[in-house]
Structures are given as C-alpha cells and as structure tokens.
Structure 1
Amino acid sequence: AFCKRLIDNQRWRGVPFYLVTGKKLSEKSAQVTIQFKKPEDCNSGGKENPIYKLSPNSNANILEIKIQPREGIHLRLNTKKPTVDDQTVVAEMEYCQSCQYSFNTPDAYEKLILDVIKGDSTRFTRWDELALSWYFIDSIDKESVTFASYKDESQGPKEADLLLNRDGRKWWFREKLR
C-alpha cells in the first residue's frame, strides 16, 4: 500500500508525507527518509557577488533513519567547500548502531519484556496515539479505496512511482544513498 497524506496544522501545512508498505517485497527494510527543501544559491551579497553558489551536483539535504535491517542514521548535506571559490560539495555522515553493537544485543521483544518488568512505558504506544492511528485507518476504510497489486519479490506497485512522479519526487528507498 502507498499513499500521500497532508497534515493540516501550522507546522506541517503544505508538507507532503508519502508512505509505502508491503509484504513479500524484494527487500525487507524499514526506514524514514526526510528530504529537506532544495537549497538555492545564497545571493545576499548581490547577484554579482553571491556568498556561495551551489554546485551542479547539489541536491536536497537528506536525513535517513534506518530502522531495519541495519539500525542507524545517514545524513547527506550540501556544505560549503573550504576553498576561496565558494562552491558547495555534498558531504555524507553515517552512524550504524547495529554495526557497532551487533554482538550481544537483546532482541526487540527482550527489550520490551524488560521494560514491562521495570515499569518503563517509553517504548509503548499511548492511548491518544492509538486513537489517532485508528482515526487515520477508519478514514481510509470509509473511502472506497482500491489497492494496487504487485508481483512477489518486486519493489512494489508501479502506481506508487506514478504518485511521486506526478509531484516531481522519487522514492528514496529505491535509490541507495550509500
């Protein structure tokens, strides 16, 4: 399943959220990818004397939170080159938690059971969050929604790509950042 959702509040107004999920896909993964607005040349010094000019390969800054299979964070930024020509370059930073702590780490359920024993509810969903989740699902259930099908071991339905292409965007999980 895939969808585009907008949140009608001051902070997120006009920001599209694209969600995709599926079973029996070619790759099992869970991640959150945040694409920031693409930066523009900084002309506050005037058009003749820009403070910096983006290089042709500059893209939007990306923050990728990897949940499964390799827990970690990947950040791709446009940064000013430390030279006198005021060009930008793409810099990438990555932290892989599961790469550093792969041995002797507890499974997800072990952590949850330990939290229950300790009375720590921080990993559990609050009632108001659960109610809002059902509100979201119920709104989909009330609409007459047709779900696109796809072949096993594929990257999901082609209609998901069409949705983003229509908005001039792309699925980042289809393009490996690193």
Structure 2
Amino acid sequence: MKIQPMEGIKIFFEAKSPGTKLCIGTLEMDFNYAEIFGSEPPDAYQRLLLDCMQGDQTLFTRIDDVTLAWSLVDDLLKDWQTGGNPPHPYPAGSDSFPQADELIQRDRRCWRNILQM
C-alpha cells in the first residue's frame, strides 16, 4: 500500500508463463490514484469529517461486523488455548508439513510438487 502523498497499491506476485515449461516470473500490478483519476484524493481527515457531517457511514465498519469478525477470531484463540486444534508452525521454505499432508490425504489427494514438473 502506498500512502500520502502518492496513494495507491502496488502488488508483486509470481506467475507461471503460458506453455508446458515451468517458467515462473515476478509480475507487478501498480495502481496510482492520481494517475488513474487525474487528481489527488481529498485529505484523509477532510474526507472523514465530511462523511461524518453528512451522515455517510459507507466507509465506517458497523459494530455487528466487528463483533462477528472478533467472534470468529476469539473461537480460534479459545480452541488453541484449550489444546483443541493448535497452530502447526513449519520452517520457511519447506514444501509442506505433516498435518497438511494428513489433511489432504483424508480425501485421497496429494500435494503437487511443482519443482519436479
């Protein structure tokens, strides 16, 4: 995310080139607010205050949304704390970890190793 004074979003991701060979490269998506819309967006506080004065709640999160989101997170945290289903850390750069293999093998599936294609 790019913040003031050059608001926008820049995303880098890896993608496979079309074809049968495994050729992966880095691609970039770059959105610049001023470039696309021809003007700078209003100052953040200016927009916030204007929305408040006009009663526009579009950019504000409703309390029921916040409550629901936290209830999902709280359930996960409670489950982890009681030992029900703890998180399974694994080393960075590893292909998989035993719990992931067990999960997918229940449906008679397996992970595809793209490095050996």
| TM-score normalised to structure 2 length | 0.42
Structure with more strand by fraction: 1
Higher relative contact order (CA 8 A, sep 6+): 1
Task: Tell me which structure has the larger Cα radius of gyration.
Answer: 2
| TM-score normalised to structure 1 length | 0.31
Structure with more helix by fraction: 2
